[in-house]
Amino acid sequence: MTREPIPTTNFNWTFLRRAYAYLRPYWKLTALAYFLALLITGLSVAIPQFIRWMVDEGIAGGNLSLLTQAVLALLGLTLLRGLFTFFQGQWSEVASQSVAYDVRNDIERQLLALSFSYHDRTESWQLLSRALQDVEYIRFLTGRATLRIVDAVILFVATAVVLFTMNWQLALLAMTTLPLITVVGLRFGSRYRPLSLAIQQQLGVLTTQLEQNLRGARVVKAFAQEPAEIERFDAENEHWFALSARAARLDSLNSPLMDFIANAGLAGVVGLGGWLAIRGQITVGELIAFTTYLGQLADPVRRLGIIIPALAMASSSAERIFTILDTQPDVASPPSPKRLSGVRGEVAFQNVSFAYDGSGPVLQNLTFTAKPGQIIALLGATGSGKTTVINLIPRLYDPTAGCVTLDGQDLRALPLDELRQQIGIVLQETMLFAASVRENIAYGRPDASEEEIIAAAKAAQAHDFIVGQLADGYDTVIGEKGTTLSGGQKQRLAIARALLTDPRILILDDATAAVDVETERRIQTALDTLMQGRTTFVIAHRLSTVRRADLILLLDEGRIAARGTHDELMAQSPLYREVYERQLE
Amino acid sequence: MSFNIGGGGMRMGPRGALRDFGQEEEGKLFDGRLLVRMLAFLRPYRRRMLLAFALMLVATALTLLSPYLMKVAFDQAIASGDTAMLVRVSLALAASFAGLYVASAGQRYLLSWVGQRVLTDMRARLFRHLQRLGLGYHDTHIVGVTVSRVINDVAVINELLSQGLVTLIGDLLVLGGIIIVMLSMNARLALLTFSVMPLMILATYIFSRRARVAFRQTRATVAGIIATLAEQIGGMRVIQAYAQEEREAARFERANAANRDAHVAAMSLSLLFLPGVEFLGMLATAIVLWFGGRAVATEEVTLGVLVAFLAYVSRFFQPIQELSRLYTTLQSAMAGGEQVLRVLDEQPDVLDRPEPLYLDRVEGSVALRSVNFAYRPELPPILRNVDLTIQPGQTVALVGPTGAGKTSIANLVARFYDVTDGAVQVDGVDVREVAQRSLRQQMGLVSQDPFLFAGTVADNIRFGRPDATQEEMEEAARLANAHDFIRRLPQGYETEILEGGVNLSLGQRQLICIARAVLADPRLIIFDEATANVDTVTEALIHDALARLLAERTAIVIAHRLSTIRDADLICVIQDGAIVERGTHDELLARRGAYWRLLQESGVGDGRV
């Protein structure tokens, strides 16, 4: 089995810059947060000085009123720093959450705008999870991560200045340990992050495997494949363990190492500082202040090592996000579309060819015309191109060559939304939303009146079951409280939905899911109502449909193998007769 | 405070994901029996755990030692100007830090190692157990929930077992040690310093209570975002076809805004808490400095004690916070542990008897003798007194309305369930006498909903015989009429099947399932015919492939299509759990009984029953 290599991290400044650009609308909040960073650093640098002062002047000097003042000042400064820290965190959080919000909205709009050729190429769930996870990295980048880096750098510089002013020898010793911590942290972080990502991925593999095994429990048992399944699960499980153990080793060697370096610095400061104190070159208070400074620098510096590799992750996240956002929808409204008015419903295919990205042609040189009000039946095997033909009409895809026209106008010259409003689609697999029955019916026309909705439901033979069988009638929320609809009921709701938009062009699949005879009759009646007076394209499964079609297109490997009415084709096409007989026997 | 959209959760699809994010299980805080059973998982690694514990003791001691050494440095070296002493103390300090590094690195590594090992073991054990459980279990449990048990709950238990318990002991030791050392250095100053502790505990308690609620809210809003997106991706065709992009975008923005606000709110809490803790820490420092400073001035305590106190105070609060985190861990581990153990306690309802018979290649006769069956004792019986004998090589079509018991008959022959009364025999042997594995190796299943596993087309065809050669596999595909379309797929047999088989049509999936059964070359076939429509040409291919699969084999067909039924050697009409009519198509038509009525009702013209 091949395994994905452990990903490496690389910076890409272009994408990072674009990610930061999302902060622009929130620049005031961001600027304030960074300004507070300066104040907080100032306080952090001042506090140990108070301690020194207190030790040297108050305690050693025996000035007790000074001690009281200093202690109160210390508390006051800490309180102030806490307040600043709160607002800094709050503002930066609001800004970065707003960035995440904006990025998510952009991704969402892009997903809605992208055409089906994109959705085909990409596994939607994968796309989605990636994008959501990536947004979290962007949020981290624009929020806490950058703030912490800036914080740490400012604190480092300020502390360095103060320490060197106090005593340069001791300062030199104290400050050398800090870059060392950063280096160790960086090395650790850049190796640990990708490893933890690999562990996450492996857990995903494990989850998929388990889920597949459970869903296919019947097949696994029927083919007595439990031992093989266990073997496969074990292999992935052990691989997960190997990765995790590696991460554990890396972590246990490095995290305490950073503590050790900081502590070693402390031991050095006590040693050298003690010697200096004995020689009277520094006071005891200064020595204590030194150790306090070291203590409060160790943490931010240590975090740098963890954050910087995370930035690299954020940069690859940004790259993935912007790749999505930069994708041009290949089906889009023209810049200055011709308005649609008084559509008659004549649809023509002129020398249309189509190929999905990177695969062989699906349609080759199709030419036919559907006159207004005609029924066009599409017949053919799986993969013969029927679905592609109907996908081209609402421009879910554009043809690779040739053109599709509506009333003589190339579809690509028409406004996309108006075009689609002229088209109703009812397929065998019905998609309903987790909303009320009413909202589902009115999906294409949210402003429809109650009367119109009921009229559509009646015409679609759905009114009776909505009122009679559903708990809250038209207000029943689909999918809630175990409200499940049968295949036949869903289909009738889809028909009502299509009826309500009163489209000029209709695309449907006349198959009915497994339903009883009565339901089937009702669906047929509803479909008949729906077809009246509209140009209709039917993926045909039934003889009755084929018989009344004005034009039958028998597709074979993307070409029209035969065309005509039922009677004509029965007389002329052996292939059609074969299909016909197979269906009816 | 990042919410973790783990790779794992996402792959489960909307339902699995929602369950992970939305559901928060609160268990009993403490259940001793549960804990003992969970601890048993640590048993194989007890040596490592003991070593880790010993290292922890060393680390704790060294942690307590360093402030004391600082005190010595200040009081005995610096104050008295003893340089040699200063060198010794500094070296001792450095050595104790080095020792601390070794001890804590070792302890950390051992604990993580054991933790991951136990996690791996638990998952492996759960998986094995799930393979043993009968279909009865799988029918009644949602896949996403079971997945969550194996992936998430197990991880929570591990957190408690490996990290939590040791942290608990370690923190208590550190806390106790600091208290003792401080008290022995200067009792009055120590007690004054401890006065901050109740405030600290109170703050931590209040915070963790409110934080739990706030973070739960963030998880719920994440679930909201995922649910919205999932629905939109599923319904993309409808959204675009009805030009409703704007409305959907607005809907998403609402979920998105709720998520942003919940996160900001939760963050505000943390942002309040951390400076609060810092302030309390400074309060303790201030107390040390003020009282201590006065005491130093009056020479009641030495400066070194003051320095040591300052160092101890800074180490004081971390264990308290750790302990409060542990409380949450304990709570969720108890809930998780209960769920995991419940799965492990589940008894398989179909069990091999001790020393079962092993079937060699069977002739293929099947008999049901006065079979009664109910899925669970409290449910009404599904089958009543069914007698049916099938000769080797015969095809029997079961027809009848939904819920009549057709599938149950097939399930009993495969021994997915055991009969309530009566017996099922294969080659004259009661299936309960036989090892399940040896029975099922004789059996092939083509189910109504053609289930394909994630993996390549080839993997799926090979499922029942992983060691089949490429030629054998392609031959099976050819017999199943699947070879031609597979070859036309982008990567042929190596094409990856996407989750749920969405990149293949229903008909194609059925053909692959038939190829899978052909390759396994079973003596017995259970075929559950699909009710959904596939196009006429594919339908013909399936029919043709099926004829080849069923030839020479004993077959039980749950049939919906007239063509399939007509080809059967024996047709059984099942109604209300009983066989009401049996015979060939012609015989039954002539009889004008239940079969005839069934055909009339269903409109023979469409060829479906």
CATH number at A302 reads 1.20.1560.10
A323 touches chain B (CB under 8 A): no
Q: Is residue A309 part of a domain?
A: yes
When computed from its CA atoms, the radius of gyration of chain A, rounded to whole angstroms, is 35
A144 and A223 part of one domain: yes
Contact A584 B283 (CB under 8 A): no
Q: Is residue A435 part of a domain?
A: yes
What is the predicted ipTM?
0.79
Q: Is residue A533 part of a domain?
A: yes
A232 touches chain B (CB under 8 A): no
- Which CATH number covers residue A435? 3.40.50.300
Mean of pLDDT over chain B? 83
Which of the following CATH numbers is that of domain B350-442+523-609: 3.30.450.40, 3.40.718.10, 3.40.50.300, 3.30.230.10? 3.40.50.300
Contact B90 A249 (CB under 8 A): no
DSSP A25: G
Query: What confidence score (pLDDT) does residue A6 get?
Result: 52
| Separation in Å, CA B399 to CA A86, A152, B375, B529, B564 | 72, 76, 20, 11, 11
More confident residue, B295 or A243: A243
A287 and A364 part of one domain: no
The arithmetic mean of pLDDT across residues A502-523, rounded, is 74
Residue of A nearest to B292 (CA): A59
A254 and A307 part of one domain: yes
More confident residue, B6 or B234: B234
Q: Is residue A4 part of a domain?
A: no
Q: Which residues contact B82 (CB under 8 A, 6 or more apart)?
A: B76
The arithmetic mean of pLDDT across residues B538-558, rounded, is 86
CA-to-CA distance for B512 and B522, rounded, in angstroms? Answer: 16
CA-to-CA distance for B75 and B78, rounded, in angstroms? Answer: 6
Q: Which CATH superfamily is domain B28-185+330-349 in?
A: ABC transporter type 1, transmembrane domain (1.20.1560.10)
A86, A200, A237 member nearest B124 (Cβ): A237
Residue-wise pLDDT tens digits, B360-373: 888 888 999 999 99
pLDDT band at A404 (very low <50, low <70, confident <90, very high): very high
Query: What confidence score (pLDDT) does residue A369 get?
Result: 92
Residue-wise pLDDT tens digits, B62-119: 988 888 888 888 888 888 888 888 999 999 999 999 999 999 999 989 988 998 999 9
More confident residue, A552 or A480: A552
A544 touches chain B (CB under 8 A): no
Q: Is residue A8 part of a domain?
A: no
A321 and A352 part of one domain: no
* CB contact at 8 A, B447 and B503: no
* CB contact at 8 A, A252 and B112: yes
Q: Is residue A235 part of a domain?
A: yes
A301 and A410 part of one domain: no
Query: What confidence score (pLDDT) does residue B205 get?
Result: 83
Query: What confidence score (pLDDT) does residue A10 get?
Result: 58
Query: What confidence score (pLDDT) does residue A101 get?
Result: 94
Contacts of B463 in chain A (CB under 8 A): 219, 223, 225
pLDDT-wise least confident of A306-310, A415-419, A530-534, B263-267: A306-310
Contact A382 B538 (CB under 8 A): yes
Instruction: Tell me which of B2, B5, B567 to substitute to probe the interface with A (most A C-beta atoms closer than 10 Å).
Output: B5
Scanning A206-225 for CB atoms below 8 A from B yields 206-208, 210-225
Residue B273 C-alpha from the chain's centroid: 34
Residue-wise pLDDT tens digits, A174-214: 888 888 888 888 888 888 888 888 888 888 888 888 888 88
- Residue A302 pLDDT > 80, yes or no? no
Percent above pLDDT 70 for chain A: 91
Q: In angstroms, what separates the C-alpha of B373 from chain A's closest C-alpha?
A: 19
Q: In angstroms, what separates the C-alpha of B27 from chain A's closest C-alpha?
A: 25
More confident residue, B537 or A352: A352
A413 and A315 part of one domain: no
Query: What confidence score (pLDDT) does residue A116 get?
Result: 67
pLDDT band at A125 (very low <50, low <70, confident <90, very high): low
* Dihedral of alpha carbons B538, B544, B545, B547, sign: positive
- Residue A236 pLDDT > 90, yes or no? yes
A71, A83, A210 member nearest B290 (Cβ): A71
pLDDT band at B534 (very low <50, low <70, confident <90, very high): low
Query: What confidence score (pLDDT) does residue B100 get?
Result: 93
Scanning A79-118 for CB atoms below 8 A from B yields 79, 81-83, 85-86, 89-90, 93-94, 97-98, 100-101, 104-105, 108-109, 111-113, 115-116
Query: What confidence score (pLDDT) does residue A481 get?
Result: 52
CA-to-CA distance for B340 and B118, rounded, in angstroms? Answer: 14
A237 touches chain B (CB under 8 A): yes
A24 touches chain B (CB under 8 A): no
Contact B537 A381 (CB under 8 A): yes
A571 and A474 part of one domain: yes
User: How many cross-chain Cβ pairs, A to B, lie less than 8 Å apart?
Assistant: 434
pLDDT band at A237 (very low <50, low <70, confident <90, very high): very high
Residue-wise pLDDT tens digits, A365-383: 999 999 998 999 998 776 6
Q: Is residue A39 part of a domain?
A: yes
* CB contact at 8 A, A116 and A390: no
Q: In angstroms, what separates the C-alpha of A512 from chain B's closest C-alpha?
A: 8
- Residue A330 pLDDT > 90, yes or no? no
A492 and A391 part of one domain: yes
Query: What confidence score (pLDDT) does residue B24 get?
Result: 42
Question: In terms of Cα–Cα distance, which of B524, B90, B286, B595 is closest to A74?
Answer: B286
Question: In terms of Cα–Cα distance, which of A120, A122, A112, A113 is closest to A330?
Answer: A113
Same fold, B350-442+523-609 and B444-521: yes
The arithmetic mean of pLDDT across residues B499-512, rounded, is 78
- Residue B43 pLDDT > 80, yes or no? yes
Q: In what order do the strands lie in the sheet with A423-426?
A: A423-426, A505-509, A535-539, A375-380, A551-556, A559-564
pLDDT band at A92 (very low <50, low <70, confident <90, very high): very high
Q: In angstroms, what separates the C-alpha of B89 from chain A's closest C-alpha?
A: 8
Print the domain residue range for A185.
13-326
Contact B78 A208 (CB under 8 A): no
Query: What confidence score (pLDDT) does residue A244 get?
Result: 92
Q: How many domains does chain A have?
A: 2
Six token digits for residue A258: 């950073």
A366 and A451 part of one domain: yes
Q: Which residues contact A183 (CB under 8 A, 6 or more apart)?
A: A305
**Alpha helices for A422-516 (secondary structure H):** 437-441, 450-459, 463-469, 487-500
Query: What confidence score (pLDDT) does residue B560 get?
Result: 79
Q: How many C-beta atoms lie closer than 10 Å to residue A359's C-beta?
A: 10
Looking at the DSSP bridge assignments, the partners of residue A424 are A506
Query: What confidence score (pLDDT) does residue B452 get?
Result: 84
Six token digits for residue B392: 């080797």
pLDDT band at B135 (very low <50, low <70, confident <90, very high): confident
* Of the ranges A24-28, A467-471, B462-466, the best mean pLDDT one: A24-28
- Residue A9 pLDDT > 60, yes or no? no
Query: What confidence score (pLDDT) does residue B169 get?
Result: 84
pLDDT band at B3 (very low <50, low <70, confident <90, very high): very low
Q: Is residue A333 part of a domain?
A: no
Residue-wise pLDDT tens digits, B284-343: 988 988 888 888 888 888 888 888 888 888 777 778 777 777 777 777 788 888 888 888
The residues spanned by each domain of chain B are: 28-185+330-349, 187-300, 350-442+523-609, 444-521
* CB contact at 8 A, B579 and B560: no
- Residue B120 pLDDT > 90, yes or no? yes
pTM for the predicted model, two decimal places = 0.73
More confident residue, A118 or B103: B103
Q: What is the DSSP string of A548-564?
A: H-SEEEEEETTEEEEEE
Q: B444-521 architecture in CATH?
A: 3-Layer(aba) Sandwich (3.40)
Instruction: Tell me which of B12, B162, B217, B260 to substitute to probe the interface with A (most A C-beta atoms closer than 10 Å).
Output: B260
pLDDT band at A3 (very low <50, low <70, confident <90, very high): low
A254 and A316 part of one domain: yes
A541 touches chain B (CB under 8 A): yes
A35 and A170 part of one domain: yes
A253 and A392 part of one domain: no
